Amino acid sequence: MAKLTENEKKALWFWAIVIIGVVVFFSVKNKDNATTTTYQKNNKVEVTVIDFSAMTREDIKTWFDTNKINGRITEEYSNDVPKGSFVSQSTGANTVIHEGDKITVTYSLGREPTTEEKNALKKAESYSRTMHMSKNGIYRQLTSTVEGFTKEAAQYAIDNIDVDWKENALEKAKSYQNNMNMSKNRIYNQLTSTVEGFTKEEAQYAIDNLE
């Protein structure tokens, strides 16, 4: 058998190292892929959806957080479901989903208001925000000849406005105290008069919280 030259020996060693490197590379790559696949599979925790209809919104949010669900609570108008009541959930109870999946729970805004009612509500919010008027005061203003809204539209506004009437009474009391230097007793009488129309409870809250 002929002896290999030095150059031939070097060539054989070179190709041997290349082949070993290729084998090791693909072996490690396959191992990494197998590990990643297993991890992703095991990381998808199954979650069984429950019936949200009898739960509070806070409890539903807690359930979303606990189970790592991408949950959302929305509202929509409904002529059949009373305002604030549960309407639907996008994924039915007892359905198996996974962490990170989306669920939407919908509540009712009540029937959709007319344009007249929407305008009355916006006007009521403006009176409350800028003049801190009472519930009775706003209703009277809406139905006055100045505004001219119907009683139905005005009542819708009063029923749907989000206002802390006690805080309105307090702001109005501060105005009388600072701008007109009125006594607390006189302020109380003014707040409960037909001019302002605050309740006795609202007026007393205002007096108790004046400086």
State the CATH number of the domain containing residue 125: 1.10.10.10
DSSP state of 177: H
DSSP state of 5: P
Distances (CA, A) of 3 to 6, 7, 8, 11, 13: 9, 11, 10, 14, 15
> What pLDDT is stored for residue 116 in this prediction?
98
- The alpha-carbon radius of gyration of the chain (Å, integer) is 35
Q: Which of 165, 139, 134, 164 is nearest to 152 (CA)?
A: 139
In a domain, 133, yes or no: yes
Q: How many domains does the chain have?
A: 3
**Residue 104 and residue 131 share a domain:** no
In a domain, 15, yes or no: no
**Residue 122 and residue 82 share a domain:** no
What's the mean pLDDT in 197-202? 98
In a domain, 34, yes or no: no
> What pLDDT is stored for residue 23 in this prediction?
54
Q: Is 102 exposed, middle or buried (0-12, 13-18, 19+ CB in 10 A)?
A: exposed
In a domain, 80, yes or no: yes
Q: What is the C-alpha end-to-end distance of the chain, expressed in Å?
A: 113
Query: Of residues 41 and 88, which shows the higher confidence score?
Result: 88
In a domain, 40, yes or no: no
**Residue 104 and residue 54 share a domain:** yes
Residue 188: CA count within 13 A, CB half-sphere: 11
**Residue 202 and residue 151 share a domain:** no
- Residue 88 sits at φ, ψ, to 5 deg, of -165, 165
Claim: this prediction has a pTM higher than 0.85: no
In a domain, 19, yes or no: no
Contact 41, 93 (CB under 8 A): no
> Would you call 145 helix, strand, or coil by DSSP?
coil
- 85-127, pLDDT tens digit by residue? 999 999 999 999 999 999 999 999 999 999 999 999 999 999 9
In a domain, 193, yes or no: yes
Q: For residues 114 and 119, give the distance between their C-alpha atoms in angstroms, rounded to a whole number.
A: 9
- 121-151, pLDDT tens digit by residue? 999 999 999 999 999 999 999 999 999 999 9
Asked which of 75, 90, 108 is the last residue of a domain, the reply is: 108
Residue 105's DSSP bridge partners are 73, 89
Domain that holds residue 142: 113-163
Q: What residue has token string 């009277």?
A: 140
- Residue 107 sits at φ, ψ, to 5 deg, of -115, 160
> What pLDDT is stored for residue 36 in this prediction?
34
